[in-house]
Structure 1
């Protein structure tokens, strides 16, 4: 049986608008774009690139939503609901765990690789 080939994640073309909900936007006009390079057969795992300009907005990750990021360009500050801020720069890798609630702030224009897993909720 042949296995599927490995895939290179590249941003080609204009990407797709990935708007921030108006009620969550706190500052700026980041106009996010996404280049999803891979989605698995279940639709629970996907990966690609994402880019946005400076801005600040509320983020709410579902309890079953996990994201791994590698910053390719720019600077980001993530602040959790308790006010603990983490600062990341190009070259840094980090995980946003399921259930994270807080604020995402692009201090500069940002480009990142992302990998997101949406785990099935147990019933």
Structure 2
């Protein structure tokens, strides 16, 4: 008797679906033209967990996180500023978590690319 088949392992660096392009809502853009792409590589059966690859061109916009997001920064630089005034700068090689409930701004200073894992 064969053991049950396991779900396939998803490697984020492998080729995936074509990225979808979008921008933040116009009323949240504060500077530049932060065109973004997302290529979701995995979604849980209940839709609450997703991960993939995200890119963004330079720009600054307001963010309101309703989900927890793990980020592994691959390229570029981002400056994250909370509404409380605290700032953090992240660049290639950095990993961080954006907690649900965070509000503030993201400013992409150089074209950026990251792996993300989101739990809603």
Same fold (TM over 0.5): yes
Post-superposition CA distance 1:57-107 (Å, at most 9, x none): 000012xx1000001100011000111000101010000001000000101
Q: Which position in structure 2 is the counterpart of 1:4?
A: 7
- Structure 2: how far apart are the matches of 1:59 and 1:114? 16
- Structure 1: how far apart are the matches of 2:6 and 2:22? 32
- Is there any run of 5+ residues in structure 1 with no aligned partner, and where? 119-123
RMSD of equivalent CA atoms: 1.3
Q: Which position in structure 1 is the counterpart of 2:68?
A: 66
Q: How many residues align?
A: 116
Q: Which position in structure 2 is the counterpart of 1:121?
A: none
> Which 4+ stretches in 1 moved above 2 angstroms?
10-14
- 3-state SS of paired residue (1:107): strand
Q: 2:31 aligned with 1:27, yes or no?
A: yes
Post-superposition CA distance 1:7-62 (Å, at most 9, x none): 11145565101320000000001210001001110000000000011000000012
Higher-Rg structure is 2
Q: How does 1:1-123 map to 2 (within 5 A)?
A: 1-10=4-13, 12=16, 14-62=18-66, 65-118=67-120
1:3 deviation in Å? 1.9
- Structure 2: how far apart are the matches of 1:83 and 1:55? 19
